Amino acid sequence: MIEPFNDYDKDFRNTIGTNIKRYRKEKNIRLMELAEMLEITPEYLKRIESPGDSKKNCSLTLLYKISLILDKKMDDFFQDDKNNKSQ
């Protein structure tokens, strides 16, 4: 029998968006600049970074491009800061 998946983070999209915004700011890259590098609209990127936007969606391809530009590993975007405060 397959065990239920209890560790599923229902807010993972918010976590990814928050991390994109944080890492972008750490690199001193403006939202407009990153959107231009990714060849997407600033509005779309803003929606991805905005917590609570239920319509946001970021493809793996787009996340991969973001990780290359921001010099981060893909799994860095999934790290929930709330759970890593003590580290």
pLDDT tens by residue, 6-41: 777 778 889 999 999 999 999 999 999 999 999 999
H/E stretch holding 17:
helix 12-26
Instruction: Give me the CATH code for the 12-74 domain, please.
Output: 1.10.260.40
Q: Does 3 have pLDDT greater than 80?
A: no
DSSP 28-77: T--HHHHHHHHTS-HHHHHHHHSTT-TT----HHHHHHHHHHHT--GGGG
pLDDT in tens, 34-79: 999 999 999 999 999 998 777 778 899 999 999 999 999 999 999 9
Q: What is the pTM of this model?
A: 0.83
Give the start-to-end residue ranges of the domains of the chain: 12-74
Confidence band for 1, pLDDT divided at 50, 70 and 90: low
